A and B are shown apart, each in its own frame.
Chain A
Amino acid sequence: MAMMLFIFFPIISVIVQSLHVEHEQVIRKVESCDLFGCKESTTIDQEATAALRAAEPLGQFAGFKTYLDRNHLATKEVGTTWKNTNSWRDFGAQMLNLPFYKAIGFTLTFTFVVTPLVIIVGFVIAVAVNSAVRQLRGPLIFFSLLPMMITPLVGALILFWMVDARGIIGATLQHLAGDPELSVKASTPLMWIMLMVYGVWHAAPFAFIVYYAGLQTVNKETLEAARVDGANRWLQIRHVVIPHLLPLTTFIALMQLMDNFRVFEPIVSFAANAHATSLSWAIYNDLGGETRQLSSAAATSVLTIIGVAILLSPVLVRTWRDFDRK
């Protein structure tokens, strides 16, 4: 019931919104005056549009028009580009000029780079902490979890100032590269790397704590047996620990794919929107302007939901098959 109320209905409302656009606005030429003088201007004829609004408060039904227009899937523009370009390279460059594909380009790169790295880094930290002296584990766990405890916006801001050309990391990079002009914030590739480094830094503790919990349940006798058989540390991990933790990996992958596909905070904190945009950022941008673009934001939201569903489908299908087999 609660699920219906809090998840299903909002989604339905977003879908309905995305299928409508606003009524045709009747624009009238008027004279407008302010402190600095009068001039010719235009305004919306409220009387003329009031009747239309009262009759259909949702706006005009537009079907999938919003989904297909240039600010979203841009079917027409993609078609023309396809016809007019000769090489894949050229086609790709043209596609990235369209806002939706620019956003999805970064979103997918971010998702597929950050997710595996989070899993690997989280696993390595978990194994390392697990093999540390018992007294040290408490503080180690605390420090490893810190990045996750910090509010994402604040965490990203900290990194943002550190990579500034006069910040500690930025200055070090300049020194290492031998280039006093080097600026992370001015270069698109470096900005992408920075965002992904932040993504890993922020999410690795989550993978770590899940794996650490999983490590406590590894069968000691199996490990003992492997050791007796002459397996070294790596072989023990490879043949005993990893298979044992596989279901947890599926869980982490699932969560991380969802989370990373919605990447948003670092883009805002890093003021990175000149270099990288994501689907969530596009929604925020539609709603944050002086004129709110609700239909456009709704269409992007539905496309995001579809994107998440597609991304998760392989994992979900696998889980379902496993479940079915049992």
Chain B
Amino acid sequence: MFLKKIALAGAMAITAGSAHAACEISGNVSIVGNEFPAIHTVAKGAAECAGGEVKANLTADHQKINVAGMQGNPAEYSTAIIANSSIVALMNEDVIRPLNDLVAEYGQDIPKSQLITIDGNIMAVAFMANAQTLAYRKDVLEEIGVDVPKTYEEVLEAAEKIRAAGISQYPVGGAYAAGWNLAEEFVNMYVGHGGEFFVPGTAEVAINNEQGVAALNMMKALTEYMNPDFLTHDSNATGAEMEAGNVILMNMWGSRMGNLMDAEGAEEQVYSNITVGAPLTVGGGTTPASTLWWDGWTVAKNISDEDAVATFLAMKHGTSPAILNDETMSQAVWMIEGYKPAPVNDGVFAAMSAGTRSYPMLPYQGLLHTALGDNLADFLLGKESAEQALADTEAAYTTAAKEKGFLK
């Protein structure tokens, strides 16, 4: 009987091995994560593992369900795929486990740079990087005789020339939709001005300062060249504006450049001339006005050690060189050995080499992000001063931080 089992397992391993790299697990894996092509590839890679059940729930609403789905004991999800902003929510609720032991035993071959460590504890393994950088129309810049802008000030100059030449009334694009997107643009611009969000080491916010005002003023100056509906434009909408040929210059996510440069949704004149540039700087600063992001996977705390090992192995397999092929190669800037960057990824690499700061991984950053998203629109609409908008943001954040116990 025992022999038979071994023979069967061996046979299965061989079949699995013949199709793809062998991955044997003895436990169940349940993945929760965002829904875009790269994540699908990872989940599919993890599902290649034999010996246990591997299921995945990939949805744009993953952040609304991952904490609740990992709080139970045993947890519904054995792993959550998250980014540097959203790992914080999982750590705040103490639902993910440090991976030091698992890495020591099963993950010696994972490159050290992929390990996300906080206070010496490995909390996640990153597999892709993302950042917002410049996207521009090569042909239009040539037509007006302007070099590719390196700073936001140069973007404004180029925009004025494009408008004056009658090429486009609203040549600048940006994901300025009130809420998360708008807050993210402020974060970029504020970092570009060299601002710090909090009094170091505390949860006390400190954005109502010179850099904050300068960041808002630059955003306002840019909106003069944007479609007047900018407060309703998210990344999708502003991407569509570029594909429609209206937007000539914009700050856009590396992960969305592929959509802009493919033949779908735009005329040849437009898509063949869309080019990815480096992230922009602002106000004479050297740090780009952008933030670096990573996506990575975690392992839940409230699951059996057996399932934890299975999850670790499956996710390791799902983010191993085995998943890279012609189709998946261009889906993201993979932090995986054997990855060959395409022109579409130039921006993210430029952002990394230019010393762009990563989005802060602080327990209370999410609260500030929400407060920024709610309070900055009034300034851009001309209803109040930059100082007032920043003061409102600080007050809203401080109240929320008190409710969450971060401040007394």
Given contacts A43-B91, A186-B229, contact A69 B381 (CB under 8 A): no
Q: Spot the interface stretch: A25-33, A198-206, A226-234.
A: A25-33
Given contacts A22-B405, A293-B404, contact A36 B203 (CB under 8 A): no
Tell me how far the C-beta of A124 lies from the nearest C-beta in chain B, rounded to whole angstroms.
33
Tell me how far the C-beta of B94 lies from the nearest C-beta in chain A, rounded to whole angstroms.
5
Contact B396 A71 (CB under 8 A): yes
Q: Spot the interface stretch: B159-167, B247-255, B260-268, B356-364.
A: B356-364
Contact B126 A291 (CB under 8 A): no
Given contacts A22-B405, A35-B126, A164-B229, contact A289 B366 (CB under 8 A): yes
Contact B396 A70 (CB under 8 A): yes
Residues of chain A within 8 A (CB-CB) of B106 are none
A172 at the interface (CB under 8 A from B): no
Q: Is the interface of B mostly helix, strand, loop or mixed?
A: mixed
Given contacts A285-B374, A289-B370, A290-B370, contact A33 B363 (CB under 8 A): no
CA distance A3 to B120 in the complex (A): 52
Task: Mark each residue of chain B from 366 to 401: 1 if its CB lies under 8 Å from any CB of chain A, else 0.
Answer: 110110001001101100100010001001101110
A97 at the interface (CB under 8 A from B): yes
B92 at the interface (CB under 8 A from A): yes
CA distance A23 to B402 in the complex (A): 10
Contact B231 A186 (CB under 8 A): yes
B84 at the interface (CB under 8 A from A): yes
Name B392's closest neighbour in chain A (CB-CB): A97
B289 at the interface (CB under 8 A from A): no
Chain A 234-279 interface residues, beta-carbon cutoff 8 Å to B:
270-275
Name A37's closest neighbour in chain B (CB-CB): B358
Chain A 18-58 interface residues, beta-carbon cutoff 8 Å to B:
21-25, 27-38, 40-44, 46, 50
Tell me how far the C-beta of B181 lies from the nearest C-beta in chain A, rounded to whole angstroms.
10
B207 at the interface (CB under 8 A from A): no
Q: Spot the interface stretch: B1-9, B11-19, B110-118, B213-221.
A: B110-118
Tell me how far the C-beta of B219 lies from the nearest C-beta in chain A, rounded to whole angstroms.
13
Name A27's closest neighbour in chain B (CB-CB): B203
Tell me how far the C-beta of A169 lies from the nearest C-beta in chain B, rounded to whole angstroms.
14
B312 at the interface (CB under 8 A from A): no
Q: How large is the interface on B (under 10, 10 to 19, 20 to 34, 35 or more residues)?
A: 35 or more
CA distance A82 to B403 in the complex (A): 25
Contact B117 A70 (CB under 8 A): no
B101 at the interface (CB under 8 A from A): no
CA distance A4 to B381 in the complex (A): 47
B85 at the interface (CB under 8 A from A): yes
A188 at the interface (CB under 8 A from B): yes
Contact B119 A31 (CB under 8 A): yes
CA distance A21 to B407 in the complex (A): 12
Task: Mark each residue of chain A from 166 to 181: 1 if its CB lies under 8 Å from any CB of chain B, else 0.
Answer: 0000000000000001
Contact B384 A33 (CB under 8 A): no
Tell me how far the C-beta of B169 lies from the nearest C-beta in chain A, rounded to whole angstroms.
9
Residues of chain B within 8 A (CB-CB) of A32 are 116-119, 361
CA distance A185 to B118 in the complex (A): 43
Tell me how far the C-beta of B194 lies from the nearest C-beta in chain A, rounded to whole angstroms.
15
Contact B200 A40 (CB under 8 A): yes
Contact B119 A291 (CB under 8 A): no
Between-chain CB contacts (< 8 Å), 22 pairs: A25-B404, A25-B405, A25-B406, A27-B201, A30-B119, A31-B119, A32-B119, A35-B126, A35-B294, A36-B294, A36-B357, A41-B118, A42-B201, A44-B92, A44-B363, A70-B395, A165-B228, A183-B228, A186-B231, A271-B178, A273-B178, A275-B381
Residues of A within 8 A of B (CB): 21-25, 27-38, 40-44, 46, 50, 59-60, 66, 69-71, 97, 99, 164-165, 181, 183, 185-186, 188, 270-275, 285, 287-293, 295-296
